[in-house]
């Protein structure tokens, strides 16, 4: 009976881990994408792209992570790319049973997503040029 209870609890925590991983994967990309479409001319000049992306990511994670403790966030922005890295640690019961496999205190989740910054006008012009070349 104790073995069945331990296996059941571990399967539940594996489900929590997979859920948290899925949420972090999705929310990290959404924050990178929103940071890539940030337009300084339409917003007030009090925010820059990096701070805007940080605010979006913190709002996206609001009460979504079930078992992770302390979401870490890091943003890198340049003129062509927005890169967002986020991570957390999922604590698991019976961690001492997994100590020999390298899981001291739980499972780490780290997600890295990138989104390209595109100029819409240049992109549409490039598409039209390619379309024109395809017809000729």
pLDDT digits (tens, 9 = 90+) for 112-132: 888 888 777 787 888 899 998
Given a cut of 60, is residue 54 above it in pLDDT? yes
- Phi/psi of residue 94, nearest 5 degrees: 60, 35
Better-predicted residue by pLDDT, 42 or 129 = 129
- Phi/psi of residue 78, nearest 5 degrees: -135, -165
Would you state the pLDDT for residue 74?
A: 80
Over residues 75-98, mean pLDDT: 76
Cite the DSSP H helix spans in 1-136: 2-36, 49-60, 120-135
Given a cut of 70, is residue 94 above it in pLDDT? no
Given a cut of 70, is residue 72 above it in pLDDT? yes
Cα–Cα distance for residue pair 75/54, rounded to 1 Å = 7
Q: Edge-to-edge strands of the sheet including 106-116? A: 68-77, 81-91, 106-116
């Amino acid at each position: 009976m104790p073995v069945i209870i331990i296996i059941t609890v571990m399967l539940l925590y594996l489900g929590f881990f997979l859920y948290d991983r899925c949420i972090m994967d999705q929310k990290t990309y959404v924050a990178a994408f929103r940071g890539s479409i940030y337009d300084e001319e339409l917003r007030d000049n009090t925010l820059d792209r990096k701070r805007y992306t940080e605010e979006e990511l913190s709002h996206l994670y609001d009460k979504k992570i079930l078992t992770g403790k302390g979401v870490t966030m890091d943003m890198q922005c340049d003129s062509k790319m927005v890169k967002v890295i986020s991570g957390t640690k999922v604590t698991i019961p019976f961690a001492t049973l997994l100590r020999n496999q390298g899981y001291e205190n739980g499972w780490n989740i780290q997600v890295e997503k990138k989104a390209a910054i595109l100029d819409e006008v240049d992109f549409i012009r490039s598409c039209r040029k390619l379309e024109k070349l395809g017809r000729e």
